Amino acid sequence: MASEIELIYKTKVKASERPHITSSKATYKLALKSWNPDKIEFLEQFKILLLNKANRVLGIYEMSTGGITATTVDLRLLFTAALKAKATALIMLHNHPSGKVFPSTADKLITRKVKEAGTILDIEVVDLLIITPEGYYSLADNGNM
C-alpha cells in the first residue's frame, strides 16, 4: 500500500481583494507587514511572495528562520509552495539583521539557483528584496536579476 499525497492551497481572500504588486516599493511595504518586528533585527528569515499572472499576491510563505547571519533555503520546499499555490511568479524576501541592505555572495548565489529552477518549472523569479526596518535593496531594480 502506498501513501496518499494531497496538494492543497486554500485562500480566504477574494481574487479582487488580493494586493497588486506594481513595484519593489509596494513589495517592501507588504513584506514589512508580514515580518515580526521583534525578529527583523534579530534573526535572518527568508520568505517568498507568491504571485499569479496578474501580479496579485496569492500568499506569503515563510521558508526559513536562521541565526544572526544566515538562514537556509531549500529549493524543493520553495517550489513546493509555489506549485501548490499555482503561482506563475515569485519574489524572494530576506532580511539582514545587521541593517545592511546590500546582497551578500550567498544572496547572489541562491538567487541564481532559484532563477534556474524557476526557468525549468516556468515560474518567473521576479526579484530578491533584502529588507530592514529602515529600507530595502531590490536586485531587480539594480540590474542584478
Mean pLDDT highest for which of 9-18, 66-75, 136-145?
Answer: 136-145
Q: Residue 145's pLDDT band (boundaries 50, 70, 90)?
A: confident
**Alpha-carbon span 117 to 128, nearest angstrom:** 15
Average per-residue pLDDT in the chain?
Answer: 91
**Alpha-carbon span 123 to 31, nearest angstrom:** 20
* Bridge partners, 64 (sequence order): 46
Count of other CB atoms within 10 angstroms of residue 66: 14
Per-residue pLDDT tens for 35-44? Answer: 998 889 999 9
Whether 15 shows a pLDDT value over 80: the answer reads no
Whether 100 shows a pLDDT value over 80: the answer reads yes
Question: Which grid cell is 118?
Answer: 524557476
| Amino acid (1-letter code) at residue 49 | L
Q: The whole model's pTM is what? A: 0.90
